[in-house]
Chains A and B, each alone.
Chain A
Amino acid sequence: MHVDSMDSYCARASWLHRLDARIKLILTLAFVLTVSLTPTGSWPTYVFLYSLLLAATVASELSLGLVLRRGLVALLFVMAALPLLVTTAGRAVLPISVGRWSLAVTASGLERFLSIAVKSWLSVQAAVLLTATTRMPDLLVAMRALKLPRLLIATVSLMWRYLFVLADETMRMLRARTSRSAALDGRGGGSLFWRASVTGAMAGTLFLRGYERSERIYNAMLARGYDGSVRAATQRPLTRGERDIVVVGLVVLASVLTLGRFVG
């Protein structure tokens, strides 16, 4: 698996792709915070925030379908909030009876559930836009510029490099297991205990290979002059125009939030 399989859309040259990663990171985080702070049920605010997302999607020249589809990931988890429909107090809208219990979907429960769904969906789409338009190395450099600790960034960048190598090894191990198991439909034969210990042996092997690979990598780093200190390339400061973009974005989000709290 190639390291670019995650970054498959990052090589394009739309306006959003060319924007500095620091700006995109700050604005995405601010957007997610704004979505979270917007009160329940302020539908005009949600619509306006989605229009901002739509504008960003257009600027990125990605297909709307792609962003929407990846955003659907959020909807799976929204199922966990289903109990809210019936447990929030309020005017009953839809009575349902489950066995001996009679519950009722309340209006305020419906509002809360839908608000959570919309908020989740908006936040996920913002994250999707960020990762589809920014290469991982640029994102890490942007995080460094935002003062995240160097050790953490170095660990993540090494993890990113070797993730695909180790993922390939894991896929090979899984394929090998399947081809040696004469698997019955879905079960894989043997007892639960046996299956678990086989999988555990695979996990242990993966860890061992990772550990010994890290020793080889360390020797390679030493041979290339590693002295224990993690250095990062210096970054040019943001230009005036780029700083203005950040300020405008933050102001827009702040005003949407204020209007949402006092009007919506």
Chain B
Amino acid sequence: MSNWEGLSHAIKGTLTKGVAVRGGLYRPAPVPMHIPDGFLSTPVALVLWLVAVVGIAYALYRVRREMDERKVPLMGVMAAAIFAGQMLNFSVTGGTSGHLLGAALAVIVLGPWAAVLVLACVVGTQALLFQDGGLLALGANTTNMALIGVIVAYAAYHTVRKLAGVKPWGLPVSGFVAGWLSIVIAALGCALELALSGTSPANVAVPAMGSIHILIGVGEGLITAAALALLYASRSDLLTGQAPATGGRGVWVAGLLIAVVLAVLSPLASTHPDGLEWVAEQKGFLDAARSAPIRVIPDYVFPGIPNEAVATILAGILGVAVVFAAAWLVGASGRRRSSERHL
């Protein structure tokens, strides 16, 4: 290791976890997503605690119902494996390294509900013993990593797998997408919670957390894809058991709900001009813009409604409906075409 690496290694060791050198357990904070105490306002923290408790309770219910008596040793050891796996790293460039959160791998091997419990145990133990994330903020961290991360990874993995069909690239690509997306969306959730608490304004937190984790997520995605390849080669029976029984209806219902909620929240969006408009104002060519010949819903404001917030929401919901219908038609025609090919 170069001098700089050695120094940063030592600094990380003493500063990150107090138990760094003793017993040799060195665990640098892999993904800077564990929110410490004091960062979230109490109402936000308590609401997220409630969300985490409800999510874990439901996961417990599903696990008790669906898994047999092997669940306790299986989940316990897999939690230990994920905890230990978070120590794995590989150098991305000179000083930085990629790490593993493990939500996507856990989902693919264990299924969504067991993965929720396993990740919740890992996050809780990290908070309690390593002070990696606060105790009051534990609800928020659990929601981000064990609930959001797992659900996103589950949806992404099965969606991409279905899209790929039997093609050989389906497995590693779906693993990559699941790993990458779980990190990015969980980080955006974290940024949103910081913004709602007033700790970090949204226009700072979201771009900062988002951009860092878009890069970190690449490491997670690559590790997940490679791990899946190994699991497929040695024990592919572990990978086949967890596909959703129905046609993944839950995925698009949830997605539709999220889109509608975001449309309703759209009046909260920033009124600042976007990148292109800002540059146009600065450079003085904003006036060169010509308006479109057909104006249906100009500027995302539904015409004819006096309240601008309601008009924006209505425009958003209409847009969601149109895009959804278009995507449905494309998917339906694709299905018809492929079934015709089989005849």
**What is A's interface to B at a CB cutoff of 8 Å?**
1-2, 5-6, 8, 28-29, 32-33, 35-37, 66, 69-70, 72-74, 76-78, 80-81, 83-84, 87, 115-120, 122-124, 126-128, 130-131, 136, 139, 149, 151-152, 154-163, 165-167, 169-171, 173-174, 185-188, 192-193, 195-211, 213-215, 217-218, 221, 226-228, 230
Would you call B56 an interface residue if the criterion is a C-beta within 8 Å of the partner chain's C-beta atoms? yes
The answer to whether A159 and B125 have CB atoms under 8 Å apart is yes
Query: How far apart sit A193 and B102, CA to CA, in the bound complex (Å)?
Result: 19
Would you call B341 an interface residue if the criterion is a C-beta within 8 Å of the partner chain's C-beta atoms? no
A200: B residues at CB distance < 8 A? 222-230
Which A residue sits closest to B114, measured CB to CB? A155
Chain B min CB distance to A116 (Å): 5
Would you call B210 an interface residue if the criterion is a C-beta within 8 Å of the partner chain's C-beta atoms? no
Q: In the complex, given contacts A163-B84, A218-B70, what are 15 additional A-B residue pairs having Cβ atoms less than 8 angstroms apart?
A: A80-B194, A120-B38, A156-B121, A158-B75, A158-B80, A159-B79, A163-B80, A171-B24, A200-B223, A200-B224, A201-B230, A203-B88, A211-B81, A214-B74, A214-B78
**28 CB < 8 A contacts A-B:** A2-B23, A6-B19, A36-B136, A37-B42, A73-B17, A81-B199, A83-B204, A116-B39, A127-B127, A128-B131, A152-B117, A158-B79, A160-B80, A166-B81, A186-B2, A188-B90, A193-B222, A196-B98, A196-B223, A196-B226, A200-B225, A207-B105, A208-B235, A210-B78, A211-B77, A214-B70, A217-B77, A221-B73
Partner of B129, one of A2, A33, A69, A131: A131
Chain A min CB distance to B42 (Å): 5
Main secondary structure of the interface of B (DSSP, over half): helix
Mask of B55-82 contacts with A, CB within 8 angstroms, 1/0: 0110010011000111111111111110
Would you call B206 an interface residue if the criterion is a C-beta within 8 Å of the partner chain's C-beta atoms? no
Query: How far apart sit A37 and B74, CA to CA, in the bound complex (Å)?
Result: 39
The answer to whether B136 and A32 have CB atoms under 8 Å apart is yes
Interface centre among B23, B37, B77 (most CB of A within 10 A): B77
Which B residue sits closest to A167, measured CB to CB? B84
Contacts A73-B18, A74-B131, A84-B200 hold; do A123 and B91 have CB atoms under 8 A apart? no
Chain B min CB distance to A140 (Å): 10
Query: How far apart sit A1 and B27, CA to CA, in the bound complex (Å)?
Result: 14
Contacts A87-B201, A217-B77 hold; do A155 and B117 have CB atoms under 8 A apart? yes
Would you call B45 an interface residue if the criterion is a C-beta within 8 Å of the partner chain's C-beta atoms? yes
Query: How far apart sit A225 and B25, CA to CA, in the bound complex (Å)?
Result: 34
